[in-house]
Amino acid sequence: MNLKPSTELLRRQNMLAVLKALRLKGGLSHTELSELTGLASATVTAVTTELERTGAIERQEQSAPSGRGRPRVLFQRASSHAHAISVQISSDALHYALSDYRGTLIDRFSTGRDIANARPARMIEEISQSLDRLMTRSRLAPEAILHLSLSSKGIVDAEQSRLVWSPVLGREDVDFSTLTRPYQNATLTLSNESLLVVQALGKRLLLREDQQRSPGLIALSLGHSIGLGVAKEEGGDIIATAPNFGHMLNAPDNRLCRCGAYGCIEASAGFYGILRLAFQVPPNTIPAKFVPIAEMEKIALSARQNNRMAQYAFRQAGIALGQGLSRVLSMVGDMPIAVTGPGSRFYDLLSVGLEEGLSQTLHARLNGMPNISIVSDEQSLVFEGHVDLALAAIDQRLTQLR
C-alpha cells in the first residue's frame, strides 16, 4: 500500500538532487552528476531523461580539448524554462533584478525611496509599477515568471508574506501578497535581508573544495540597521537563520533604538547610534530613519584624525557588537564571522571595541577570538541569496507538479 507514495517521494528527491547539483555547479556530465549526488548511473539516466522531456534541463556538447574523440556531453539547466524576479527593499532605494533558470542576470535597475512620505500602499504601488517596467524591458510574458522573491530589513512574517516592522515604516504592516496577481504562475517569498546574505555566503562555503572549511559561518551586516545571519552545513545543505540580532537588549541604558526600546545593540552600533554619540546628542533623542553614508564618512575621517568623541562613538559601537557576537557564539559554537554592509568600511574604527566586547566573555577567553573577514559587496550577496532561494523554490514546485 505504501509502495507507490514511497516511490514517488524517492523520484522527487532524486530530481531535486540533480537540479540542485546543476544549480550549484553549472554544466555537469553524467558521471559528475552521479558522483555529486550519490545516485546510481541508471538513476541519473532516468532522472535526466525525464527532466529533458519536461524542458527543465538540456544537453550541451563540449568538444574534446585535443579536437579528437567523442565530444563531452554536459547537462545544463534550461535558461528559458523559468524566470525569477527579486526585489530588495533597502532604506533609501528599491532594487529589482530578473534572472533566468540558470541564475543568470537578465536585467537590473534601482529606484529611490521617498522616506519622508513612505506608506505601505504607496510602496506596493511603486513596486508594482517597477515590476511592470521590468517585464516590458524583458519582453517576457507574465506566465514566464515562476517566483517573486522580496527582502527587507526588519521583521518579516514569511508565511503570510507580510512586513511586520521595518526601520522606515515602523509598525505599519505591509502585505505583499497582492504583487503576484499579474503573475498567475508565480509563488512569493519574503525574507529578512540578512537571511539572504548568509544564504549566499553559505552557498559559497559549500562550493569550497578544501577539507578545512568550517561547518558554518556568521554574517554580520553593518549599516543603518544591524543584521546577523547564521549558516550551518547539514547533510550537504545550508540551513540559514537570521535572528533579530540588532534589536537584542545589550545594556540597560537610555540609548533609544528605532524599534522604540532602549539599550538595543543597534542603538549603539547602527549609523544613527554612532552619529548621535559622536555629536554628543542626548541618547534618548528619536533616531534618524536614514543617515547618508557621506555623513558617516565625515565622522570616520574625524575619528581617523584623532577626534576623541568620534573615536569613542565607533569604539562603543564595536563593544556593543562584540558583546552581542559573544552571546551568539556561545549558542552556535565557534564559527568564522564575515562582516559586510556599508558599515564594513569603518571596521578599522570598530575593531578595537569589537575585540574588547568579545574578550569580556568566558567563551572568547577559552576559545580565542573568532576568525573575522570583510566581505564588502553586500549588494551582490543579497542578489545571490535571492537567486538561490528562488531557484530552489522553483525546483521544489516543478518536481511536485510532475
Q: Quick one: 129 exposed, middle or buried, by C-beta within 10 A (0-12, 13-18, 19+)? A: exposed
pLDDT band at 289; cut points 50, 70, 90: confident
The mean pLDDT value of the chain amounts to 92
Query: Above 50 in pLDDT, residue 1?
Result: no
Listed in order, the ranges of the chain carrying CATH 3.30.420.40 are 81-196+381-401, 209-377
Cα(224)–Cα(252) distance, integer angstroms: 22
Set of cell numbers at residue 293: 553614508
Q: Residue 170 — pLDDT band, cuts 50, 70, 90?
A: confident
- pLDDT number for residue 243: 93
Tell me, what's the pLDDT at 3? Answer: 45
Contact between 27 and 60 (Cβ < 8 Å): yes
Question: Position of cell 558599515?
Answer: 343
Question: Mind listing the pLDDT tens digit for each residue in 30-43?
Answer: 999 999 999 999 99
Closest CA to 23 of 69, 109, 81, 65: 81
Tell me the per-residue pLDDT of 236-247, one tens digit each, with 9 for 90 and over.
Answer: 788 999 999 999
User: Of the candidates 391, 394, 389, 340, which has an alpha carbon nearest to the alpha carbon of residue 150?
Assistant: 389
Q: Is the dihedral of CA 277, 281, 285, 287 positive or negative?
A: negative
Q: Give the pLDDT of residue 199.
A: 94
Instruction: Pull the grid cell for residue 11.
Output: 523520484
> What do you get for the CA distance between the two ends of the chain, in Å?
21
**Chain segment 185-217, per-residue pLDDT in tens:** 999 999 999 999 999 999 888 777 665 677 899
How confident is residue 66, by pLDDT bands cut at 50, 70 and 90? low
Instruction: Give me the pLDDT at residue 4, please.
Output: 54
pLDDT tens across 253-274, in order?
999 999 999 999 999 999 999 9
pLDDT (tens digit per residue) in 366-392: 888 999 999 988 999 999 999 999 999
pLDDT in tens, 96-117: 999 999 999 999 999 998 887 8
pLDDT of residue 211: 56
Higher pLDDT, 93 or 402: 93
C-alpha to C-alpha distance for 28 and 193, rounded to whole angstroms: 31
Region(s) of the chain under CATH 1.10.10.10:
3-77
Q: Say what percent of the chain tops pLDDT 70.
A: 95
Mean pLDDT of all residues in 117-136: 94
The answer to whether domain 81-196+381-401 has CATH 3.30.420.40 is: yes
The H or E element that residue 43 is part of is: helix 41-54
**CATH code of the domain made up of 3-77:** 1.10.10.10
Residue 67: its pLDDT value, please? 57
Average pLDDT of the segment spanning 308-333:
96
User: Given this structure, which CATH class describes domain 209-377?
Assistant: alpha beta
Residue 107, number of CB atoms within 10 A of its CB: 15
